[in-house]
Amino acid sequence: MRKKLIGFRCRRMLHFEPRKYMKSSYHPIWKGVNTDHSSCQTSRFRLESWSMEFFVFTLLPEIFPPYLESSILQRARQRGLIDVQVHNIRDWTTDRHHVTDDEPYGGGGGMVLKPEPLFSAVEGILGPQLDCPIILLTPQGRVLTQDVAAELTGHPRLALICGRYEGVDERVCEHLITDEISIGDYVLTGGELPALIVIDAVTRLLPGALGDPDGAQDDSHASGLLEYPHYTRPAEYRGWQVPEVLLSGDHARIARWRREQSLKRTLERRPDMLESAQLSENDRKFIDLLKNDKTT
Ligand code: 9WO
Protein backbone atom coordinates (compact mmCIF):
# COMPACT_ATOMS: atom_id res chain seq x y z
CA MET A 1 0.00 0.00 0.00
CA ARG A 2 1.24 3.44 -0.82
CA LYS A 3 1.81 5.66 2.11
CA LYS A 4 -0.59 8.54 1.80
CA LEU A 5 1.17 10.87 4.14
CA ILE A 6 4.57 12.38 4.27
CA GLY A 7 6.13 12.07 7.67
CA PHE A 8 4.08 12.03 10.78
CA ARG A 9 4.44 15.20 12.75
CA CYS A 10 1.74 17.18 11.04
CA ARG A 11 -0.54 14.29 10.11
CA ARG A 12 -3.52 16.06 11.59
CA MET A 13 -3.02 18.93 9.23
CA LEU A 14 -2.61 17.06 5.98
CA HIS A 15 -5.14 17.34 3.23
CA PHE A 16 -5.62 15.98 -0.23
CA GLU A 17 -6.90 18.94 -2.16
CA PRO A 18 -5.11 20.34 -5.16
CA ARG A 19 -3.16 23.51 -4.65
CA LYS A 20 -5.11 26.69 -5.16
CA TYR A 21 -3.99 30.27 -5.10
CA MET A 22 -5.42 33.40 -3.69
CA LYS A 23 -5.95 36.01 -6.36
CA SER A 24 -3.02 38.34 -6.87
CA SER A 25 -0.96 36.65 -4.23
CA TYR A 26 1.79 34.10 -4.52
CA HIS A 27 0.65 32.33 -1.39
CA PRO A 28 -1.15 29.08 -2.05
CA ILE A 29 -4.11 28.35 0.16
CA TRP A 30 -3.15 25.51 2.42
CA LYS A 31 -6.66 24.61 3.45
CA GLY A 32 -6.44 23.20 6.93
CA VAL A 33 -2.71 22.89 6.56
CA ASN A 34 -0.27 24.37 8.96
CA THR A 35 1.79 26.83 6.99
CA ASP A 36 3.93 27.63 9.96
CA HIS A 37 6.74 25.43 8.79
CA SER A 38 8.99 26.65 11.54
CA SER A 39 7.23 24.33 13.95
CA CYS A 40 7.76 21.30 11.74
CA GLN A 41 10.93 19.30 11.42
CA THR A 42 10.58 17.39 8.19
CA SER A 43 8.91 17.54 4.83
CA ARG A 44 5.51 16.07 5.42
CA PHE A 45 3.14 17.66 3.01
CA ARG A 46 1.02 15.93 0.48
CA LEU A 47 1.51 18.12 -2.53
CA GLU A 48 -0.67 17.71 -5.58
CA SER A 49 -0.42 19.05 -9.13
CA TRP A 50 2.41 21.28 -8.10
CA SER A 51 4.48 23.29 -10.50
CA MET A 52 7.11 25.91 -9.89
CA GLU A 53 8.99 28.58 -11.78
CA PHE A 54 12.56 29.51 -10.88
CA PHE A 55 14.09 32.80 -12.02
CA VAL A 56 17.86 32.74 -11.75
CA PHE A 57 19.94 35.92 -11.93
CA THR A 58 23.63 35.36 -12.53
CA LEU A 59 26.73 36.65 -14.31
CA LEU A 60 27.52 33.09 -15.43
CA PRO A 61 24.36 31.70 -17.06
CA GLU A 62 26.33 29.05 -18.94
CA ILE A 63 26.79 27.14 -15.70
CA PHE A 64 23.13 26.16 -15.52
CA PRO A 65 22.06 24.24 -18.67
CA PRO A 66 24.28 21.17 -18.24
CA TYR A 67 22.80 20.36 -14.88
CA LEU A 68 19.23 21.39 -15.72
CA GLU A 69 19.39 19.22 -18.86
CA SER A 70 20.31 16.09 -16.95
CA SER A 71 18.32 13.35 -15.33
CA ILE A 72 15.57 14.26 -12.89
CA LEU A 73 15.59 18.00 -13.47
CA GLN A 74 15.41 17.52 -17.23
CA ARG A 75 12.45 15.19 -16.81
CA ALA A 76 10.75 17.54 -14.35
CA ARG A 77 11.10 20.37 -16.86
CA GLN A 78 9.77 18.21 -19.70
CA ARG A 79 6.77 17.24 -17.58
CA GLY A 80 6.08 20.87 -16.81
CA LEU A 81 6.71 20.42 -13.10
CA ILE A 82 9.31 23.16 -13.13
CA ASP A 83 10.40 25.93 -15.43
CA VAL A 84 13.79 27.54 -14.97
CA GLN A 85 14.64 30.89 -16.54
CA VAL A 86 18.28 31.89 -16.32
CA HIS A 87 18.97 35.59 -16.78
CA ASN A 88 22.33 37.27 -17.27
CA ILE A 89 22.65 40.27 -14.96
CA ARG A 90 25.09 41.80 -17.46
CA ASP A 91 22.27 42.11 -20.02
CA TRP A 92 20.75 44.75 -17.75
CA THR A 93 23.74 47.10 -17.69
CA THR A 94 23.31 50.36 -19.56
CA ASP A 95 26.91 51.51 -19.97
CA ARG A 96 29.02 50.86 -23.05
CA HIS A 97 31.29 48.36 -21.35
CA HIS A 98 28.55 46.43 -19.55
CA VAL A 99 30.20 46.86 -16.18
CA THR A 100 28.65 44.92 -13.30
CA ASP A 101 31.25 45.49 -10.56
CA ASP A 102 32.98 48.39 -8.88
CA GLU A 103 35.45 49.13 -6.10
CA PRO A 104 34.20 49.01 -2.52
CA TYR A 105 33.53 52.31 -0.76
CA GLY A 106 35.99 52.58 2.12
CA GLY A 107 38.69 50.80 0.19
CA GLY A 108 40.03 47.33 0.66
CA GLY A 109 40.52 44.64 -1.90
CA GLY A 110 38.15 43.06 -4.31
CA MET A 111 35.14 44.25 -6.22
CA VAL A 112 31.47 44.56 -5.38
CA LEU A 113 28.49 43.68 -7.55
CA LYS A 114 26.80 46.96 -8.49
CA PRO A 115 23.18 47.42 -7.43
CA GLU A 116 21.70 48.96 -10.61
CA PRO A 117 21.94 46.01 -13.03
CA LEU A 118 20.63 43.62 -10.40
CA PHE A 119 17.62 45.78 -9.50
CA SER A 120 16.93 46.37 -13.21
CA ALA A 121 17.19 42.68 -14.03
CA VAL A 122 14.92 41.48 -11.24
CA GLU A 123 12.35 44.25 -11.70
CA GLY A 124 12.50 43.93 -15.48
CA ILE A 125 11.89 40.18 -15.40
CA LEU A 126 9.50 39.83 -12.46
CA GLY A 127 7.67 43.10 -12.93
CA PRO A 128 7.38 45.88 -10.36
CA GLN A 129 5.29 43.75 -7.96
CA LEU A 130 8.16 41.44 -6.98
CA ASP A 131 5.53 39.18 -5.43
CA CYS A 132 7.71 36.13 -4.93
CA PRO A 133 10.59 35.34 -2.59
CA ILE A 134 13.83 36.88 -3.85
CA ILE A 135 16.56 34.71 -2.45
CA LEU A 136 20.25 35.57 -2.27
CA LEU A 137 22.61 32.62 -2.00
CA THR A 138 25.11 33.62 0.65
CA PRO A 139 27.02 32.04 3.53
CA GLN A 140 25.23 34.56 5.75
CA GLY A 141 21.78 33.12 5.02
CA ARG A 142 19.72 30.61 6.93
CA VAL A 143 21.02 27.14 6.26
CA LEU A 144 19.23 25.06 3.64
CA THR A 145 17.65 22.03 5.28
CA GLN A 146 14.99 19.59 4.14
CA ASP A 147 12.49 21.77 6.03
CA VAL A 148 13.54 24.88 4.16
CA ALA A 149 13.33 23.02 0.84
CA ALA A 150 9.82 21.83 1.73
CA GLU A 151 8.83 25.34 2.72
CA LEU A 152 10.00 26.69 -0.64
CA THR A 153 7.70 24.28 -2.50
CA GLY A 154 4.89 26.46 -1.13
CA HIS A 155 5.81 29.21 -3.56
CA PRO A 156 4.89 28.94 -7.25
CA ARG A 157 7.75 31.30 -8.18
CA LEU A 158 11.18 31.78 -6.69
CA ALA A 159 13.91 34.22 -7.71
CA LEU A 160 17.47 33.08 -7.00
CA ILE A 161 20.21 35.73 -7.01
CA CYS A 162 23.78 34.52 -7.50
CA GLY A 163 26.48 36.87 -6.27
CA ARG A 164 29.99 37.07 -7.70
CA TYR A 165 33.15 39.03 -6.92
CA GLU A 166 33.74 39.68 -3.20
CA GLY A 167 30.15 40.50 -2.46
CA VAL A 168 26.91 42.23 -3.34
CA ASP A 169 26.10 45.89 -2.55
CA GLU A 170 24.32 45.86 0.82
CA ARG A 171 21.41 47.91 -0.55
CA VAL A 172 20.50 44.89 -2.67
CA CYS A 173 20.31 42.77 0.46
CA GLU A 174 18.27 45.41 2.28
CA HIS A 175 15.82 46.48 -0.39
CA LEU A 176 15.55 43.73 -2.99
CA ILE A 177 16.33 40.45 -1.28
CA THR A 178 13.57 38.91 0.85
CA ASP A 179 15.42 35.78 1.97
CA GLU A 180 19.05 34.68 2.27
CA ILE A 181 20.00 31.03 2.04
CA SER A 182 23.31 29.31 2.73
CA ILE A 183 24.04 25.74 1.70
CA GLY A 184 26.66 25.37 4.42
CA ASP A 185 29.53 27.01 6.24
CA TYR A 186 32.08 27.46 3.49
CA VAL A 187 32.86 30.18 0.97
CA LEU A 188 32.57 29.57 -2.77
CA THR A 189 33.39 31.73 -5.76
CA GLY A 190 29.74 32.49 -6.43
CA GLY A 191 26.15 31.60 -5.69
CA GLU A 192 25.53 29.53 -8.83
CA LEU A 193 26.12 26.08 -7.39
CA PRO A 194 24.05 26.90 -4.29
CA ALA A 195 21.22 28.07 -6.60
CA LEU A 196 21.33 24.76 -8.48
CA ILE A 197 21.30 22.94 -5.17
CA VAL A 198 18.19 24.83 -4.07
CA ILE A 199 16.47 24.04 -7.38
CA ASP A 200 17.46 20.38 -7.06
CA ALA A 201 16.36 19.97 -3.44
CA VAL A 202 13.04 21.72 -4.06
CA THR A 203 12.22 20.03 -7.38
CA ARG A 204 12.61 16.49 -6.14
CA LEU A 205 9.93 17.21 -3.52
CA LEU A 206 7.34 18.04 -6.18
CA PRO A 207 4.91 15.17 -6.73
CA GLY A 208 5.88 13.19 -9.81
CA ALA A 209 9.43 14.54 -9.99
CA LEU A 210 10.93 11.22 -8.97
CA GLY A 211 8.50 9.13 -10.99
CA ASP A 212 7.02 7.73 -7.81
CA PRO A 213 4.49 10.11 -6.28
CA ASP A 214 5.65 9.11 -2.82
CA GLY A 215 9.31 8.95 -3.74
CA ALA A 216 10.70 11.77 -1.69
CA GLN A 217 8.98 10.71 1.50
CA ASP A 218 11.18 7.85 2.46
CA ASP A 219 14.50 9.56 2.36
CA SER A 220 16.56 10.05 5.38
CA HIS A 221 15.88 13.65 6.11
CA ALA A 222 12.15 13.32 5.56
CA SER A 223 11.90 10.93 8.51
CA GLY A 224 14.28 12.90 10.69
CA LEU A 225 16.71 9.95 10.72
CA LEU A 226 19.60 8.93 8.50
CA GLU A 227 18.96 6.20 5.97
CA TYR A 228 19.49 2.51 6.53
CA PRO A 229 22.11 0.77 4.31
CA HIS A 230 21.06 -0.27 0.81
CA TYR A 231 22.12 -3.40 -1.07
CA THR A 232 21.49 -4.77 -4.54
CA ARG A 233 22.61 -7.86 -6.48
CA PRO A 234 24.85 -9.79 -6.34
CA ALA A 235 24.14 -11.32 -2.93
CA GLU A 236 27.84 -11.95 -2.57
CA TYR A 237 30.52 -9.67 -4.03
CA ARG A 238 34.24 -10.31 -3.43
CA GLY A 239 33.19 -12.41 -0.49
CA TRP A 240 31.11 -9.61 1.06
CA GLN A 241 27.63 -10.83 1.86
CA VAL A 242 24.39 -8.90 1.79
CA PRO A 243 22.87 -9.11 5.31
CA GLU A 244 20.86 -12.32 5.56
CA VAL A 245 17.73 -10.56 6.81
CA LEU A 246 17.32 -8.73 3.50
CA LEU A 247 17.17 -12.04 1.62
CA SER A 248 14.71 -13.59 4.08
CA GLY A 249 11.51 -12.26 2.51
CA ASP A 250 10.26 -11.55 6.03
CA HIS A 251 8.97 -8.02 5.54
CA ALA A 252 8.33 -7.32 9.20
CA ARG A 253 11.85 -8.40 10.12
CA ILE A 254 13.31 -6.35 7.26
CA ALA A 255 11.38 -3.26 8.36
CA ARG A 256 12.58 -3.70 11.94
CA TRP A 257 16.19 -4.20 10.82
CA ARG A 258 16.09 -1.10 8.64
CA ARG A 259 14.60 1.00 11.40
CA GLU A 260 17.29 -0.20 13.80
CA GLN A 261 20.05 0.51 11.28
CA SER A 262 18.65 4.03 10.80
CA LEU A 263 18.59 4.59 14.54
CA LYS A 264 22.11 3.18 14.99
CA ARG A 265 23.56 5.33 12.22
CA THR A 266 21.83 8.44 13.43
CA LEU A 267 23.08 7.86 16.97
CA GLU A 268 26.64 7.31 15.72
CA ARG A 269 26.86 10.03 13.09
CA ARG A 270 24.19 12.66 13.81
CA PRO A 271 23.08 12.33 17.43
CA ASP A 272 21.71 15.88 17.16
CA MET A 273 19.03 14.60 14.77
CA LEU A 274 17.66 12.18 17.38
CA GLU A 275 16.55 15.11 19.52
CA SER A 276 13.90 16.12 17.01
CA ALA A 277 13.12 12.78 15.35
CA GLN A 278 9.75 11.19 15.98
CA LEU A 279 10.60 8.07 17.97
CA SER A 280 8.38 5.23 19.14
CA GLU A 281 8.68 3.52 22.50
CA ASN A 282 10.53 0.68 20.76
CA ASP A 283 12.89 3.12 19.05
CA ARG A 284 13.81 4.63 22.41
CA LYS A 285 14.38 1.22 23.96
CA PHE A 286 16.65 0.26 21.07
CA ILE A 287 18.63 3.49 21.41
CA ASP A 288 19.05 2.94 25.15
CA LEU A 289 20.31 -0.55 24.35
CA LEU A 290 22.88 0.85 21.90
CA LYS A 291 24.02 3.45 24.42
CA ASN A 292 24.43 0.81 27.11
CA ASP A 293 26.41 -1.41 24.71
CA LYS A 294 28.86 1.41 24.20
CA THR A 295 29.39 2.07 27.90
CA THR A 296 29.72 -1.58 28.94
C1 9WO B 1 30.88 35.78 0.91
C2 9WO B 1 31.20 35.83 2.25
C3 9WO B 1 32.32 35.42 2.96
C4 9WO B 1 32.35 35.60 4.35
C5 9WO B 1 31.25 36.15 4.99
C6 9WO B 1 30.14 36.54 4.25
C7 9WO B 1 30.13 36.36 2.90
N8 9WO B 1 29.17 36.67 2.00
C9 9WO B 1 29.62 36.31 0.82
C10 9WO B 1 28.83 36.50 -0.37
O11 9WO B 1 27.66 36.80 -0.33
N12 9WO B 1 29.46 36.30 -1.50
C13 9WO B 1 28.87 36.49 -2.79
C14 9WO B 1 28.45 35.17 -3.39
C15 9WO B 1 29.91 37.03 -3.67
C16 9WO B 1 31.14 36.17 -3.62
C17 9WO B 1 30.80 34.72 -3.92
N18 9WO B 1 29.59 34.28 -3.32
C19 9WO B 1 29.42 33.19 -2.55
C20 9WO B 1 28.23 32.59 -2.19
N21 9WO B 1 30.39 32.50 -2.01
N22 9WO B 1 29.89 31.51 -1.29
C23 9WO B 1 28.58 31.53 -1.39
C24 9WO B 1 27.72 30.61 -0.72
C25 9WO B 1 26.35 30.66 -0.93
C26 9WO B 1 25.54 29.76 -0.25
N27 9WO B 1 26.07 28.85 0.58
C28 9WO B 1 27.37 28.76 0.77
C29 9WO B 1 28.25 29.64 0.13
Counting atoms of ligand 1 from 1, which one is nearest the CA of 191?
Answer: 20
3-state helix, strand, coil in the chain (%, to 5): 40, 15, 45
pLDDT tens, per residue, the chain with 296 residues:
333 332 222 222 222 233 332 222 332 322 222 333 333 333 444 445 589 999 999 999 999 999 999 999 999 999 999 999 999 999 999 999 999 999 999 999 999 999 999 999 999 999 989 999 999 999 999 999 999 999 999 999 999 999 999 999 999 999 999 999 999 999 999 999 999 999 999 999 999 999 875 557 556 667 899 999 999 999 999 999 999 999 999 999 999 999 999 999 999 999 999 999 999 999 999 999 999 998 87
Domains of the chain are 4-204 (3.40.1280.10), 236-295 (1.10.1270.20)
204 is catalytic: yes
- Distance, in Å, from the CA atom of 136 to the CA atom of 264, rounded to the nearest integer, reads 37
- Distance, in Å, from the CA atom of 247 to the CA atom of 232, rounded to the nearest integer, reads 10
117 is catalytic: no
Catalytic residue among 139, 156, 180, 213: 139
CA 188 to centroid of ligand 1, rounded, Å: 6
Q: Is the pTM of this model over 0.85?
A: no
